[in-house]
Amino acid sequence: MKKIVISTGGGDAPGLNAVIYAVVRACYRRGWEVYGSRSGYSGLLDTDELIRLGLDDVEDIYSTGGTIIGSTNKGNPFSMAIENLAGEVQVIDFSDKITNNFNRMGFDCHIAVGGDGSLEIARRFAEKGMPVVGVPKTIDNDLEATDRTFGFDTAVSTATEALDKLHSTAKSHDRVMVVEVMGRESGWIALYSGISGGADVILIPEIPFNIEKVCEKITDNELHEKDYAIVVVAEGASAKDGQVISKGSGEVGRDEVVLGGIGEHVAAEIRERTGKDTRSLVLGHLQRGGSPTTFDRLLAMRFGAAAVRLIEDGVFGHMVALYSQHMNSVPLADAVRSRKKVQLDSDKVLTAREIGICLGD
C-alpha cells in the first residue's frame, strides 16, 4: 500500500485533469491511496487543504480543462512573499514545514505536475529527501527534456481556429490583423499556429524582427492583389533593436514578469509605416482554457500512468518525458536546466520560409 500526493503548479494547461485521472486510476488498481494538494503546495503547507481523491472524484474529468485541485503561479514555498496588514512584504521559507507535513501524513511520493518553475521547486524538494516524480506541463512547450508537454497541442488548436476566423474579417475589410499569442521566451505556439492558420508573418522570440521586412511583406501582398494580412506575434518576440515588452510582475509572490503588449506595438508600427487599416488582438488565456485535444489527453494520461510506474519501480527525483514517441524519464535537474527554443534550422522554420511566410528577418 502506498500513499501518493499530487499537485498541479504554475499556469494551468488543458490536460491537467487527464493526468490526475490517470494517476488516481493507476494507483487504485494497485491498491494505493491518492491525495490532491490544493493550489500547488497549499495542501502540504496546511493539511486541511489536502483532498482524498477516489475513483468517483475523477470520473469524466479527463475531458475537462483546468485542474480539479487548483493551481498557482505565485508563492515559491522556498521563498514565499507574504504581505502583512501594514503592506510590508516578508519572505519566508516554508520548505521544512512542507517536508515535515509530507512525512507526518505518511506519503510515499509526491507527483509534481508543472512547468519549469514548479519542476525546479520539485527538484529542490527532491534534494531535501522528498521522493518526487515530475510530470511536464505547459502550453508553451518550452521544456528541453521532453519532446512535448501536454497543453501545447490544445493551445495551438485554439490559436489556429482563431486565425481561421480572422481571415474572413481581415479580408472583408482589407485589414491587417495582428494576433498576439502566448509562449513566453519560446515561439512554439506562434510558429505552429501561424503556419497552420495561414499567417503572412510570424514573429518569434528566437528571431528578433526587422519591422521594415514585416511591412515589405504586407506591401508585397498588395502587389499580388491580397489586400489583407495576418500577423502572428509571440508575446516574447522583440525587434532587433528593441526589448521584450512586459507588464511587470504586478503581484506579490510572483517571480516571473507578465509578458504582453508586443502585438499592439507591432500593429501601431504597421499602421504608421504602411497606412493600412490595422487591428490587434491578444488571444491570452483562451489558449489555456477548454477541453484538451485528443493528443493532449492521451499524452497527459500516458504521463500520469508512467509517473505511477516510476513510483512502483522506486525511481524518484525524475520527470517523465516523451522521447521519440516513447515514455522515458530524466533526472529533474536535467529537466529544468534550459528552456527549449525553436531551432532555426528545423523543418518547421524551413517550411514557413518555403511557403512564403515572413519571419521578420
Nearer to ligand F6P, 38 or 184 (CB): 184
* Rounded Cα–Cα distance for residues 92 and 81 (Å): 6
Cell of 126: 527532491
Closest C-alpha to 130, from 221, 255, 4, 247: 4
140 is catalytic: yes
Site string for ligand F6P, 63-102 (x = CB under 6 A): ----------x-----------------------------
Binding of ligand F6P by 148 (CB under 6 A): no
Question: Phi/psi at 22 (nearest 5 deg)?
Answer: -65, -40
Closest C-alpha to 193, from 242, 229, 159: 159
Binding of ligand F6P by 153 (CB under 6 A): no
Q: Which of 9, 11, 65, 360 binds ligand F6P (CB under 6 A)?
A: 11
Q: Scan for cell 481571415, then name that residue.
A: 167
* Rounded Cα–Cα distance for residues 274 and 213 (Å): 12
Binding of ligand F6P by 286 (CB under 6 A): no
Residue 8 CB, shortest distance to ligand F6P, in Å, is 13
Q: Please provide the distance, in angstroms rounded to a whole number, between the alpha carbons at the two ends of the chain.
A: 58
Binding of ligand F6P by 288 (CB under 6 A): yes
* Rounded Cα–Cα distance for residues 320 and 327 (Å): 7
Q: By CB neighbour count within 10 A (0-12 exposed, 13-18 middle, 19+ buried), where does 355 fall?
A: exposed
Site string for ligand F6P, 243-262 (x = CB under 6 A): ---------------xx---
Nearer to ligand F6P, 131 or 263 (CB): 263
Binding of ligand F6P by 116 (CB under 6 A): no
Radius of gyration of the chain (CA): 22
Binding of ligand F6P by 160 (CB under 6 A): no
Nearer to ligand F6P, 249 or 351 (CB): 249
Stretch of residues binding ligand F6P (CB under 6 A), selected from 101-109, 128-136, 176-184, 203-211: 176-184
Binding of ligand F6P by 184 (CB under 6 A): yes
Question: Phi/psi at 4 (nearest 5 deg)?
Answer: -115, 145
The residue type found at 114 is G
Stretch of residues binding ligand F6P (CB under 6 A), selected from 178-186, 209-217, 290-298, 311-319: 178-186
**25 CA to centre of own chain:** 25
Q: Which of 33, 120, 140, 185 binds ligand F6P (CB under 6 A)?
A: 140
Nearer to ligand F6P, 65 or 183 (CB): 183
**107 CA to centre of own chain:** 28
Cβ atoms 308, 26 nearer than 8 A? yes
- Which of 140, 142, 153, 200 is labelled catalytic? 140
Q: Which of 39, 42, 67, 138 binds ligand F6P (CB under 6 A)?
A: 138
Catalytic site positions? 140
Q: For binding to ligand F6P (CB under 6 A), which residues are involved?
A: 11, 73, 115, 138-140, 182-184, 235, 258-259, 288
